[in-house]
Chain A
Amino acid sequence: MSKDKLFGLIDLDWRFEITKFKPIRALFKSRWFPLLLIIANLFIFVVILVAGLMGGYSAGNYNFGIMLVWILWWVMLMLVLVPVFSRFWCTMCPFPVFSDWFQRGKLFGVRLGKLEGLNLRWPKKFRNMWIMNIGFLVTTFFSGFFTVRPLATFILLGGIILLAFIIGLVFEKRNFCLYVCPVSGFQGLYSQFAASEIRRIDPEVCAKHPVKTCFTGNEDGYGCPWMLTPFNFEKNTYCGMCLECFKSCPHDNMAFNLRPPGVDLLIDTKKSPKGLDEAYKAFIMLGIAIMFYTAFQGPWGGFKDMVRATTAKGYFTYVAMHASFNLLILPGIFLFFSWLSKLFSKSQEVTLKRIFINFAYTLIPLGLGIWIGFSLGIIMPNGSYLLHIISDPFAWGWNIFGTANLPWTPVFTGLMGYLQGVTLIVFYLFSLNYGNRIAKQLFPDPDQARRAWMPILTFLTLITFIFLWLFLG
């Protein structure tokens, strides 16, 4: 049997374990490791909150909070953190640190036994992405405020931190991160494409280890706060990379691997099935990308007036348009193509629902590519603001690093089109490659698979052309 290779080049089973290097393993096993990163980020977010509060209603483009969150953090998430390092942001995220501290009673050490708080279990019907889907979509209704008004960013971030704490009081462990955090949803979705993962090394070692300390915890580390089973979980979606399993595994059987991007997209097992919630997340992310690009990087002033709510009528029209586009129109169009796919395949066994859900995962690489293109359109023209705001974070005339008076200078904007075009094509290729495989998984008969794939190929090509036109046309 020939090995399955990505583009005929990279073996899908290829892994490179970073933690095989002793210093890195030692670092991952140290209880200081994510903690110091978290505290460092907490410091940055405290400054962001103060700047957001002080900045009030003033212009966002010279505000530390706005610029760090929406220019640096968001762009870093889309450009580097998610595509390469999966959910590494969650490793260092400071939002849930207060609820962790409360639940554990300790910052550094490991508390054995029951954690503080009510420790309720998360309701079963909400153990999916729907809350995050709706939460994130509703958040984007206000993007015309969050991204430009410092006080709005303060309220958003403050609200997230407060919510994380409250949910930590009531529900056990990291349920906030798993099922509520708006940033978590898209990271979970796109981390399936990421080029890295945390997995156990040798299943035999786990099988011979009767007490699954990675799940129950021991004196070296907590049982998985994300309530996964580190000894056998299969995909990145709900792994927050908190690194506790590295600490609690007595056999050093956990690994941080580099891998070919996207292998999680092929996983459709009983343990981690493809689901409608994740399919919808893919549509919502794509729909938001279209809306954001037209509103924030497009030349259409009328639409901007609606988004920034110059009139109540315009704003509600935008909200209605945005919501229905993401929840009905875009999935509706895809449903039509899925229906065509079923029609072409002439298959009786595979249901339309399965075709719709499984093929929706082909939007993950393309969607991520589109967000990268969008992020380039933010960072290249506006990245120079960062140098200003780190020197004068509160607009009080400080000049910490001597860069407070640098003027706004867009960089390499002439190259932007090329970069966006190349990005689109690369991620389009990934989508096609994985789409083909998903088709073959769905339809065991190769001819059926090929015929069923054609409408989806058309859909993906159309989306790619739409963005090529938006970016370059």
Chain B
Amino acid sequence: MKKILALVLILLFFGISFSFAEDRTITVKAKKFSYTPNKIEVNKGDHVTIRLMSEDVTHGLFIDGYGLNTKAHPGSDGSISFVANKTGKYAFRCSVTCGEFHPYMVGNLIVGPNHRFYFFGLIILVICIGSAAIPLLKRKS
């Protein structure tokens, strides 16, 4: 039983990262105050190219954690290329003041497998079940 559990955990943590690295090119359209697509999902190790196109004013795209930045305006596209070597969810945000909601112009880059999310989720689950079970165990003993 324990072995199976361990195996499941290992699969959860590393299983998905066995998939092969790909070249991914994603075109992101920016318009006040959102990106389309607003969610980019890639896998660890992928060579990612993000092409930024603006549909109205000058917008930027800064990726949290990776610290990469580009900008674009109608007629002039921006581009970022990088290897997705950090897993997790990172916001990408507009880096050129584009209007009053500029600080809130956000999209999400999710580099799978999202270890952090699974890890914290697992802890919460363990705490939840543990805190429910401990009084029961105490009563038995």
- Asked if chains A and B are in direct contact (CB within 8 A), the reply is yes
A interface residues, Cβ below 8 angstroms from B: 59-62, 144, 148-149, 295-302, 304-305, 308, 381-382, 408, 410, 413-414, 416-418, 421, 424-425, 428-429, 432, 436, 446, 450, 454, 457, 461, 464-465, 468-469, 472-473
- Contact code string B110-121 (vs A, CB < 8 Å = 1, else 0): 000010110111
Take A61-B102, A299-B108, A304-B101 as given contacts and tell me if A432 and B127 are in contact as well, using a CB distance cutoff of 8 Å.
yes
Closest to A145 in B: B100
Inter-chain contacts of A436 with B (CB < 8 A): 131
Closest to B36 in A: A301
Take A421-B120, A473-B117 as given contacts and tell me if A297 and B104 are in contact as well, using a CB distance cutoff of 8 Å.
yes
- Contact code string B20-45 (vs A, CB < 8 Å = 1, else 0): 00000000000101111011000000
Closest to B130 in A: A432
Inter-chain contacts of A144 with B (CB < 8 A): 101
Contact B91 A148 (CB under 8 A): no
Interface presence of B65 (CB below 8 A): yes
Interface presence of B132 (CB below 8 A): yes
Q: How far is the CB of B14 from chain A (nearest CB, A)?
A: 19
| Contacting residue for B88 out of A61, A410, A417, CB 8 A | A417
Main secondary structure of the interface of A (DSSP, over half): helix
Inter-chain contacts of A464 with B (CB < 8 A): 124
Other than the given A59-B99, A299-B107, A301-B31, 14 more pairs (CB < 8 A) read A60-B103, A148-B100, A296-B104, A297-B104, A299-B91, A299-B106, A414-B64, A421-B120, A424-B120, A454-B132, A457-B132, A464-B124, A472-B114, A473-B114
Inter-chain contacts of B62 with A (CB < 8 A): 410
Take A299-B107, A413-B65 as given contacts and tell me if A465 and B124 are in contact as well, using a CB distance cutoff of 8 Å.
yes
Take A381-B91, A418-B116 as given contacts and tell me if A60 and B100 are in contact as well, using a CB distance cutoff of 8 Å.
yes
Q: How far is the CB of B80 from chain A (nearest CB, A)?
A: 15
Interface residues on B, range: 35 or more
Interface presence of B135 (CB below 8 A): yes
Q: Which of B66-115 touch A at CB < 8 Å?
A: 66-67, 86, 88-91, 93, 95, 97, 99-108, 114
Inter-chain contacts of A413 with B (CB < 8 A): 64-65, 67, 90-91
Cα-based distance from A450 to B132 in the complex (angstroms): 8
A297, A299, A436: which has the most chain B beta carbons within 10 Å?
A299
Q: How far is the CB of B122 from chain A (nearest CB, A)?
A: 11
Q: How far is the CB of A275 from chain B (nearest CB, A)?
A: 27
- Contact code string B37-59 (vs A, CB < 8 Å = 1, else 0): 01100000000000000000000
User: Which 9 A/B pairs are nearest by Cβ-Cβ distance?
Assistant: A301-B34, A414-B65, A413-B64, A299-B38, A421-B120, A148-B100, A472-B117, A461-B128, A299-B107
Inter-chain contacts of B137 with A (CB < 8 A): none
Q: How far is the CB of A302 from chain B (nearest CB, A)?
A: 8
Contact B124 A473 (CB under 8 A): no
Contact A428 B127 (CB under 8 A): yes
| Contacting residue for A429 out of B95, B101, B114, B127, CB 8 A | B127
Inter-chain contacts of B120 with A (CB < 8 A): 421, 424-425, 468, 472
Contact B103 A61 (CB under 8 A): yes
Interface presence of B10 (CB below 8 A): no
Contact A304 B34 (CB under 8 A): yes
Inter-chain contacts of A308 with B (CB < 8 A): 33, 100-101
Contact B116 A59 (CB under 8 A): no
